[in-house]
Structure 1
């Protein structure tokens, strides 16, 4: 998506897990930038339709919903095909959908492995592969939502940390294999939005914030702004992963 050669039609971007939380913030930010939004969802169908309705009230025919189970690989090519059939093109893919929970060594089972590696690594690979022809045709871009713990694993989150490490490597490998037509970058969040299931007690949250250089949590908008920059404005950037973490990874041990 070189800004020197902007397409005549609005860019179309598919965001996985785009119905809620950080995904919804990314969808709204890219929509503000003039993109037409393909909102992927799995379980959050009602919030996805509500978000699409919100965006279409601002700019008619600018958003639609595309449900799919990303762990079902044969469904990924049809998912991309449905987006292209609906909007006529695909200019960007944001691999945001993720599962996140602890897996202590000695208690890891195959179900957790399949789920965590599936959503955080396998699905981004196979969905990007399915989207590659459309992205090459548009000169588009891919953004993977990685994690600062891809490089500095989080204790007790063995499989998640390993999966995100794989996604970091995949980001750089895809940048090589999709060059020069498609740029591939990543955004690595730090403490942005706490899990909804109270995995982190208040004391642990405070400890994490205290170890962050800016001494505060970030917001989903911070991630969305980074995605917008890398996808729409950074025409000479590829194969990079940008930490958006308030400086936490600068001295994370």
Structure 2
């Protein structure tokens, strides 16, 4: 790889969807900087630079972007993927737990976009946020997660309007994505109109398209990738 190759910064990139996006982009010739709260359990099998940080911390995010400017010299795409869920009955959910989820899932995207805007503007780059179909529908006891992902949707179109035309901002909302390679039943797959549970590659390929030049007329949009589940009427029989 050379200094002329595009650079992507991916949060939550040590595992799951973030790891898949990083691997896909590196395979397309991008240089990847991966930021995560914890190092991967095993070395990632592709070229990258890893930084262990808490993306909900303002000073840490500023230092992260400064490190990219100094180390890579440019930033062409930012993938805001970091996030986690606390599933707990509302009456038992503490304010500290609520704030932790909002901080990592939502506030981090604001901090990253604000810090990275100058570099992205120079590159005429792109931001891709990762929300969830849970921004549109919920299971019980997921208030903090749903609120954070709904906030990501609104933040995405606000950033697209504020940062355009130099920086495009789009959102991917995954449904059920198998990130662990576990055993899935025939029913798990069959309930999806697309005929199967989602794979990490389904998100990675879309993220790569949104980060790259082929999507230059696309901004402020949400892309739901859920095999059709949010379009399916489900009633108890």
TM-score (norm 2): 0.90
Other-structure match for 1:22 = 17
Q: CA deviation at 1:43?
A: 1.3
Q: 1:184 aligns with which of 155, 163, 169?
A: 169
Alignment of 1:220-231 (within 5 A): 220-231=200-211
3-state DSSP class of the match of 1:93? strand
Task: Select 2:33's aligned residue among 13, 35, 38.
Answer: 38
Q: How many residues of Structure 1 are paired with residues of Structure 2 in the alignment?
A: 231
Partner secondary structure for residue 18 of structure 2: helix
Q: Distance in 2 between matches of 1:73 and 1:206?
A: 45
1:114 maps onto 2:67 in alignment:
no
- How many angstroms does 1:130 deviate by? 0.6
Task: Identify which of structures 1 and 2 has the higher relative contact order when contacts are C-alpha pairs closer than 8 Å and 6+ apart.
Answer: 1
Question: Is the CA contact (8 Å cut-off) linking 1:103 and 1:159 kept in structure 2?
Answer: no
Contact 1:45 1:67 in 2 (8 A): no
Q: Given the alignment, which residue of 121, 126, 145 partners 1:141?
A: 126
Alignment partner, residue 212 of structure 1: 192
Distance 2:233 2:100 in 1: 27
1:244 equivalenced with 2:229 (yes/no): no
Mark the runs of 5 or more structure 2 residues left unpaired by the alignment: none
1:158 equivalent in alignment to 2:114: no
> What secondary structure sits across from 1:186 in the alignment?
strand
**Deviation of 1:156 (Å):** 2.0
Corresponding position of 1:60: none
Root-mean-square deviation (CA, aligned residues, Å) is 2.2
Instruction: Trace 1:71-150 onto structure 2 (pairs within 5 A).
Output: 71-150=56-135
Which stretch has the larger CA shift, 71-80 or 97-106? 97-106
Confirm whether residue 55 of structure 1 aligns to residue 50 of structure 2. no
Answer whether contact 1:94 1:143 (CA < 8 A) is retained: yes
Structure 1 gap segments, 5+ residues each:
1-7, 57-62
Does the CA contact (< 8 Å) of 1:99 and 1:115 recur in 2? Answer: no
Distance, in Å, in 2 between the alignment partners of 1:140 and 1:45 is 27
State the TM-score, normalized to the length of structure 1.
0.84
